[in-house]
Amino acid sequence: METLSLIGTTNRKGQVITDPRVMMSEAPRTPSFFTGSEVIKEAVRRANVDVMVAYPITPQSEAAALCGELFAEGYIGDYFRGESEFAVMSQCAGAAFGGARVFTTTAGPGTLRAMENFPMWAGSRLPIQCIVTCRGINSPLSIQPDTIEIAYLMQTGMLVWHAETAQDFYDWILKGYMVSEEPDVHLPLALCCDGFFVTHTKDTVDLTPVDMCLPPYDPYRSPVPCMDMECPPVRMMRDPFVMKSNYISYATHASWQQEVWAAAERSRKHTIAWLDGLIETENVDADILIVSSGTAVSQGREAIRLLADEGIRVGLVKIKTLRPWPEEELREATKHASHIIVPEFNVIGWLARELKATLPYTERIIAGPRVCGGMTMPPEIIVEEIKKAIGMRSGVLAGRGS
Amino acid sequence: MSKERITISPDLYDIMPPDYQDLVNHATYGKEDRGWKDIGTSKELLEQHSLCAGCPESMAFRYILAALPNPEDTVMVGSTGCTSLVFPHVAIHNIHSLFGNQNAVASGLKRALTVRFPNRIKDVVVLAGDGATVDIGLDMTLQAWFRQEKFTTICFDNELYANTGGQESGLMQKGFVAKMAPVGKLFDKVRLPEIARESGCHYIVNCTVSKPSLVERVVRNAVLIAREIGPTYLQLYTPCILEIGKDSQEGLQEMRDAEKPNERFAFKEYISEPAKALLADIAAKAKDKKAAAKQLVS
C-alpha cells in the first residue's frame, strides 16, 4: 500500500487523509484552551493511530485514558490497558512488528521499568511513538516533575525530542510520526515533556482541523520486513549470531548498532524540515546565552526579560531534539558566547554534561541552576546564576541556604 | 499470504538459493490436510537446526511446524533460550525481542494483525521455554490469558534453564539437584496447566512429543480454538538430555517414561464447553466433506 495515494480519501472514522505538509503548515488552525493531556488526545485524534496500549502512572494517566475515549469514538483501531510498563512496551513492539502505527505514554518509574524494551525497539527499527511526561524516579516516592529519565532515554538509540509547550507537543506528535516512519530513519521516538508543567496546565494551542488526519503508516516502507507473513519468509540466517563467538558475529552486532545510530543521524534532514531546525535561537550574538530544553526554556525566557529590564542582554538557545544531538547547530549558535547558562530540572545536569562533551571552551558552560524533586525554577535563580557568572552582586534569595 | 507471493521470477530462478527453490516447489503452504506425514516427502518449514544432536526440542519443532493449519498466514513469537537458536531457520515470520515478554508481544501482534487484516485469518503462535513462560514471563503469560487474547501459547518444558547451562526453574521437579538448587529444588513443579484453566484458557494439553500424530492433533486443535474462541495452552515435555545426563539417542525413551500413567507428563487434556462445540463442528464438517468426496468418486 502506497499511502500517499490515499490522500483525499477517508479513514475508518471518516477523516480526510491529508498531505501532512498541507495539514501542518497550510490548513487553518483553531485556537483552543486545553490542558497538555487534552492536547495529546487532540493530536492522537488526527494521527491515524492503529494501536495504543495504556497503563496508569502519574502524570500521564489522564492522557492515556483520554486516548481510550478516542478508541471508543472509533479514532483508534485497538486500545487496551497492559499490565505493567514492561509489558506495555512489549505489546507496543508486537503491534509495530505486525505493521501497526503505535502510540503509548509513560512517565518516571514507568520509563525505567520499561527500559529494556527501548533499545530493543530501536534495534528492531520499530517507529513507535512514546510520550514521556517526565517525573521523579527516586526513592522516597515522588510524583513531581523532574527530567532525569531523559538521561537514560538518550542512550537507547531512540529519537528523543523535548517539548517546551503544549503547542510543541501537539505539532510534534503529528510531525514525529512523519520523521520516525521515514524508511531511512524508522526508529522509535521518545517525545518528552516536563510532567505537570505541561500536562496539567492549560494553554492556548492552535489545532489543525478535526476532519483531517495523517496518511496511515505503510509498513512496507520499513527497512526490515514486517512480521505479517505478507512477504516471503526466507530463512533469516544460517547460524544465529547469538550462539557464535566469532568475528562475523561481532561485526554484525557492531555494524547494526552503528546503523541504528546512523539512522538517528539521518533523521536530521527530515526533522530540520518539519521542526524548522533542531534548535531555536534568539539573540545569539549576545555575550551571555541561556541554553536549555523543555520548560526550563520558558523559565529562561522570563529570566531574559528580567535581565533586559536591568540592561543586561542575554540570548537564548532552545534545544528541540536531544537525539539526534544538534552539535553543529549548537557550536554555531554559541560561538560568540562567553557565558553559557544551562538551567535544568534534574539533579545530575545531563544537558550541561552533553554540552560540555561537544562544545569547545567548556569553562564557559555553567551547569545550572538545577532544581529537582518537583521544585519549581523561579526565573530569579537563573538571573542570580547569570549575575554570578559575570561577576555582578545579586540579592540573596530566600530559602537558598544563606 | 498467497502462494503467488513466494514464487520466483523465471529469469531469477537459477540465482535463488536451493533452499528457497525447494520451499517454493515442495513446501506445504496452502495444503489443507498438511500434517506430520508430510515430513520426509515435502520441504519442511524448518531448515536444519542448531540444537544438540538428538534434542527432543528439534522433534517438537518439526512436528509443530508440520501441524500448523495455516502456516502461510501464521506468525510465531519466541523468547530467549534454545528455541531462539532455531527460529532463525524457520520459514515462518517470527519475532524474538526480549526474554519473557513473548505473550505481551503476541498480544500486540495479534491485535495489530486483526486491525490490519479484519477479513482474513492471521494466526499467532507463541513458542517459548519454561523459564520464559513460567518464571520471568509468568505475569505476561497469565495476563494474556485473563484478557482472552486469541493466540496459542506453547511451552517447551524441559524442567530447567537449558540454554544457560541447567539452572533451577519453576517447572523443575521438587528435589532435583541443579545449578542454583544446590541442595535440590525445595518446592513443587508449578502446576501451570491447572493455573491456565483457572486463567481462562479454552484448550490445555500436557504431554510429551514422543508421538507426532498426537502433537499434530493438539497443535491443530489449539490453533483453531485460539483463532475462534480464546487463549489455548500446550505444555510439551522436551527433555534436555544434556542436563539430565542422557545420551543423544535416549530422548525418545525419556519422554516415553515420563508419559506413563501417573507420571508427570501422562496425557492430560482440558477442553472448555465452547471449544468442545467448535471441535465437534469442525469434525462434523470434515465428515461431511469426506462423505461428499466419497460420493463423487462412486
Q: How many angstroms from the chain centroid is the CA of residue B186? A: 29
Q: In a 3-state reduction of DSSP, which class is residue A35?
A: strand
Instruction: Using an 8 Å CB-CB cutoff, list chain B residues near A50.
Output: 112, 115-116
Structural domain contains residue A21: yes
Report d(CA A2, CA A308) in Å as an integer: 53
- Do A210 and A338 lie in one domain? The reply is no
Per the CB < 8 Å rule, is B143 touching A242? Answer: no
A227 and B104 within 8 Å at the Cβ level: the answer is no
Are residues B160 and B143 in contact, defined by beta-carbon separation less than 8 angstroms? Answer: no
Find the helix or strand (DSSP H, E) in which A203 lies. strand A202-207
Residue A394 is predicted with a pLDDT of 74
Identify the band that residue A243 occupies on the pLDDT scale cut at 50, 70 and 90.
low
Stretch among A76-80, A175-179, A255-259, B29-33 having the lowest mean pLDDT: B29-33
Q: Which of the listed residues A177, A205, A221 is the one where a domain comes to its end?
A: A221
Q: Count residue pairs from A and B with Cβ separation < 8 A.
A: 149
Q: Report the pLDDT value the prediction gives residue A1, as an integer from 0 to 100.
A: 45
- Whether A212 and A284 map to the same domain: the answer is no
Query: Looking at residue B286, what is its pLDDT?
Result: 92
Backbone angles phi, psi at A144, to 5 degrees: -85, 160
Q: Cα separation of A124 and A93, whole Å?
A: 9
Q: Which amino acid is at B180?
A: M
Angle between helices B102-116 and A85-97 (to 10 degrees): 40
Look at strands A339-341 and A321-323 and give their pairing: unpaired
Measure the CA–CA gap between A155 and A163, rounded to whole angstroms: 18
CB atoms within 10 A of CB A209: 15
Whole-angstrom distance, CA of residue B245 vs CA of residue A128: 46
Q: Which of A179, A200, A221 is the last residue of a domain?
A: A221
List pLDDT tens digits, range A312-361. 999 999 999 999 999 999 999 999 999 999 999 999 999 999 999 999 99
Q: Which CATH class is domain B35-297?
A: alpha beta
Domain identity same for A290 and A359: yes
Q: How high does pLDDT run on average in chain A?
A: 94
Q: How confident is the model at residue A146 (pLDDT cuts 50, 70, 90)?
A: very high
State the DSSP H helix or E strand holding residue A34, giving kind and residue range, or none if neither: strand A30-35
pLDDT above 90: percentage of residues in chain B: 83
Decide if B108 and A86 are in contact by the 8 Å CB cutoff.
no
Q: What percent of chain A has pLDDT over 90?
A: 89
Higher local confidence (pLDDT), A233 or B8: B8
**Kind and range of the H or E run holding A384:** helix A379-389
Residue A240 lies in a domain: no
Average pLDDT, integer, range B59-80: 96
Q: Of all helices (H) and strands (E), which one includes residue B17? A: none
A227 and B101: CB-CB below 8 Å? no
pLDDT digits (tens, 9 = 90+) for B25-51: 888 888 889 999 999 999 999 878 889
- Average pLDDT of the segment spanning B90-100: 93
Residue A10 lies in a domain: yes
pTM passes above 0.90:
yes
Among B1, B92, B140, select the one facing A87 at the smallest CB separation.
B140
Is the CB of A95 less than 8 angstroms away from the CB of B109? yes
Q: Which of A235-239, A299-303, B8-12 reaches the highest mean pLDDT?
A: A299-303
Residues of chain B with Cβ-Cβ distance to A97 below 8 Å are 95, 97, 105, 108-109, 112
pLDDT(B85) > 90: no
pLDDT category, A240, cuts 50, 70, 90? low
Rounded CA separation A302/A296 (Å): 10
Kindly state the cell numbers that stand for A201: 496546565
Option in A84, A93, A239 nearest B108 (CB): A93
Lookup: cell for A366: 555553567
Count of domains for chain A: 2
Q: Which residue has the higher pLDDT, A246 or A352?
A: A352
pLDDT in tens, B120-177: 999 999 999 999 999 999 999 999 999 999 999 999 999 999 999 999 999 999 999 9
| Residue A239 main-chain phi, psi, to 5 deg | -125, 120
Distance between CA A234 and CA B6 in Å, rounded?
Answer: 9
- pLDDT surpasses 50 at B88: yes
Long-range contacts of A263-268 (CB under 8 A, 24+ apart): A263/A125, A263/A184, A263/A185, A263/A186, A263/A187, A264/A157, A264/A158, A264/A159, A264/A185, A264/A187, A264/A323, A264/A324, A265/A324, A266/A182, A266/A184, A266/A185, A267/A159, A267/A179, A267/A180, A267/A182, A267/A185, A267/A187, A267/A324, A268/A324
Domain endpoint, select from A199, A221, A243:
A221
* Residue A285 pLDDT level (bands cut at 50, 70, 90): very high
Owning domain of residue A191: 3-221
Q: What is the pLDDT of residue A402?
A: 43
Contact check, Cβ <8 Å, A233/B91: yes
Q: Where are the domains of chain B?
A: 35-297
Order across the sheet with A365-366: list the strands: A279-282, A314-319, A288-292, A339-341, A365-366
Measured between alpha carbons, how far is B14 from B18 in angstroms, rounded to an integer?
9
Taking alpha carbons only, the member of A13, A20, A367 closest to residue A177 is A20
Inter-chain CB proximity B108 and A235 less than 8 Å: no
Q: Which residue of A has its CA nearest to B149?
A: A80
Q: Kindly give the pairing relationship between strand A51-54 and strand A102-106.
A: parallel
**Residue-level pLDDT at A237:** 56
Select the residue of B92, B110, B143 nearest A83 (Cβ to Cβ): B143
Q: How far apart are CA A19 and CA A301, in angstroms?
A: 34
Judging contacts by C-beta atoms under 8 Å, the chain A residues touching residue B104 are 82-83, 86-88, 90-91, 94
**Of the candidates A124, A141, A396, which has an alpha carbon nearest to the alpha carbon of residue A236?**
A124
* Min Cα separation A193/chain B (Å): 26
pLDDT tens profile A37-85 = 999 999 999 999 999 999 999 999 999 999 999 999 999 999 999 999 9
Which CATH number goes with the domain that contains A11? 3.40.50.970
